[in-house]
Structure 1
Amino acid sequence: MAGFLLGANARSAGYRLVGFDNIGSTNSEALAAAAAGDPGGIWFAALQQTAGRGRRGRPWASPHGNLAASLLIVPDAETAATATLGFVAGVALSRALGSILPGRLVRMGIDGADGTVNGHNARIALKWPNDVLADGAKLAGILLEAQKLSDGRHAIGVGFGVNVVRSPKDVPYPATSLAELGIDRSAFDVFEALSEAWVEVFGLWRDGRGVADVLAHWRSAAAGIGAPVAVSHDGRVVRGIFETIDDDGRLVVRAEDGLRIAITAGDVHFGATASARS
């Protein structure tokens, strides 16, 4: 579709692009391409997604004008390392959005969850495991899906959803969009910035050998480190202080009894919300 463009560095790196006005799911399109033999390095981007998926199979539809984009990659990396591509995606998306939002510093977010830059509160922050916040509200999300290939490698669909023109209103968490933040930029602008940022951060990852470097960048933009946190998963709630993300990408919580608990998956709530929710 005319309108979507790769950044100059993405084009030079050999990435390809297919654009749509609307589509069921960009991740489904990416994985279908893998099944048909595509070697990877191709983006699928759309202005509207009608049958998208979020974490744990939750539906993720988006109105026309928001960005849905998925990148198909087939990395030469161990299976365990491919799971850390979510952190590559988070850092890349936060950098892309940070380049679009004005650089001024703002108040603490409504959830006490803003990240920091040089010791000051920042507009864009990463929320473990796969969200990007603006002023403490969800602006974007990421979903990784894998498909094993006949040669034993895994094709990965790295999906991005960004609220450009409108945010969802029927969700149990604060959400926002670029338009609601007063930012007059299009999904085309966001995608081009994302395609450029991906090249840079994926280069740091180096087929899994640079995971530590990527995680260091992720921590530097993380929301809520040092703050009260509650993580719910499979009916269990873990409460304490969000200490860090460990070298395997797990969220580490220091409980009231001093025990350090490493969590691999869950829904995260910060600050006062962490204390109020069960």
Structure 2
Amino acid sequence: MSDFSLGPNARSAGYRLTGFDEIGSTNSEALAAASLGDPGGIWFAARHQTAGRGRRGRQWHSVRGNLAASLLIVPDAAPEQIATLGFVAGVALNRALAAVLPQGRFRVGIDGMDGADGRSRIALKWPNDVLADGEKLSGILLEASKTPDGRSAIVIGCGVNVVAAPEGTPYPATSLLALGVERSAEQVFEALSDAWVDVFALWDDGRGIAAVLELWRSSAAGIGAPVAVSQDGVVRRGIFETIDAAGRLIIRDEDGSRFPITAGDVHFGATASARS
């Protein structure tokens, strides 16, 4: 049993929820539901995940009290549009965290005011992370499946370090509690479920992706700064110029040439090294 509940906007929009105290993987649970013909619009949320996974087959480390949440949807959109749902999730997570963080303490987006300590900031890291003070606070994983009638089912998994962050990760990590913010996984999930409704409606089966990407850019980490992207052991360095209309990261080399990046591990500033 769990105390998870949907936010009022999510309930009004007809979303459903199955909550767990502990589960192997919320993404696996959502994929199983898709294989059984669930029509989508259902969240699976847990405060402890024992077999979570991240991008590129990595393990997603989580402790009891952190949030693991996965949403199953069956969108009516072209494959190239479905691929941009990670940006929808990123903007929604960013909004959810802004809703649960103490007002005025943290800055959200590149145009907001600094927090009381002069540096606190929540930002989106390409392609699918949320950073706090430059450290990973949350991650997103998209997985695809097929419904029994052949439609594309998409699972959007979100993990938030609520009470603790893993150690020894390729990119430094933090938690809400380490930032001095005491919130529960249930509170973060309720805010996320509501934030998702508005951003998903803006996306509009891919027709509104330009507006979503503009929101993503406005809260992005590292635009205009040195960046290193590792792809299968090859590292490309340059300036993170923007993300394009397809959501690709655009790097500008020293000679001014621009290169689109579709996937890779990103490091900024002092961490823009050959780490992978």
- Same-fold call, TM > 0.5? yes
Match of 2:22, SS state, is strand
Q: CA deviation at 1:122?
A: 5.9
Residues 205 and 236 (structure 1 numbering): CA distance in 2 closer, same or farther, change over 3 Å? same
Q: Could you tell which deviates more after superposition, 167-176 or 225-234?
A: 167-176
TM-score by length of 1: 0.94
CA distance, structure 2, for counterparts of residue 64 and residue 103 of structure 1: 26
CA distance, structure 2, for counterparts of residue 265 and residue 277 of structure 1: 15
CA distance, structure 1, for counterparts of residue 275 and residue 25 of structure 2: 32
Q: Is the 8 A contact 1:139 1:176 kept in 2?
A: yes
Match of 1:19, SS state, is strand
Q: CA deviation at 1:154?
A: 0.8
Query: What does residue 111 of structure 2 align with?
Result: 117
Match of 1:201, SS state, is helix
Query: What does residue 61 of structure 2 align with?
Result: 61
CA RMSD of aligned residues (A): 1.7
Query: What does residue 111 of structure 1 align with?
Result: none
Query: What does residue 110 of structure 1 align with?
Result: none
Q: Is the 8 A contact 1:115 1:122 kept in 2?
A: no
- Of the candidates 266, 269, 272, which is equivalent to residue 271 of structure 1? 269
CA distance, structure 1, for counterparts of residue 98 and residue 200 of structure 2: 17
CA distance, structure 2, for counterparts of residue 150 and residue 23 of structure 1: 25
Q: CA deviation at 1:83?
A: 0.5
Q: Is the 8 A contact 1:116 1:122 kept in 2?
A: no
The structure with the greater share of residues assigned to strand is 1
Q: CA deviation at 1:102?
A: 2.2
Query: What does residue 8 of structure 2 align with?
Result: 8
Match of 1:243, SS state, is strand
- The reply on whether 1:226 has 2:224 as its aligned counterpart is yes
Query: What does residue 133 of structure 1 align with?
Result: 131
Unmatched tracts of structure 1, length 5 or more: 108-113
Query: What does residue 153 of structure 1 align with?
Result: 151
- Residue 198 of structure 2 aligns with an amino acid whose one-letter code is E
- Residue 19 of structure 1 aligns with an amino acid whose one-letter code is G
TM-score by length of 2: 0.94
Count of residues in Structure 1 that have an aligned counterpart in Structure 2: 272
CA distance, structure 2, for counterparts of residue 115 and residue 122 of structure 1: 11
Q: CA deviation at 1:235?
A: 1.4
Q: Is the 8 A contact 2:19 2:46 kept in 1?
A: yes
CA distance, structure 2, for counterparts of residue 20 and residue 106 of structure 1: 30
Identical positions, percent? 72
- Residue 169 of structure 1 aligns with an amino acid whose one-letter code is E
CA distance, structure 2, for counterparts of residue 151 and residue 257 of structure 1: 51
Match of 2:230, SS state, is strand
Question: What is the CA deviation profile of residues 201-249 of structure 1, one whole-angstrom value per residue up to 9, with x for unaligned ones?
Answer: 0010001111101000000000000000000011111100000000000
CA distance, structure 2, for counterparts of residue 242 and residue 178 of structure 1: 27
Q: Could you tell which deviates more after superposition, 168-177 or 127-136?
A: 168-177
Query: What does residue 41 of structure 2 align with?
Result: 41
Match of 2:189, SS state, is helix
CA distance, structure 2, for counterparts of residue 101 and residue 233 of structure 1: 34
CA distance, structure 1, for counterparts of residue 71 and residue 221 of structure 2: 25
Match of 1:90, SS state, is helix
Question: What is the CA deviation profile of residues 153-207 of structure 1, one whole-angstrom value per residue up to 9, with x for unaligned ones?
Answer: 2100000000001000121221100110110110000000000000010010001
Q: Is the 8 A contact 1:115 1:224 kept in 2?
A: no
Q: CA deviation at 1:117?
A: 2.4
Unmatched tracts of structure 2, length 5 or more: none
Query: What does residue 251 of structure 1 align with?
Result: 249
Question: What is the CA deviation profile of residues 100-152 of structure 1, one whole-angstrom value per residue up to 9, with x for unaligned ones?
Answer: 12233669xxxxxx951247666210000010001111000000000123444
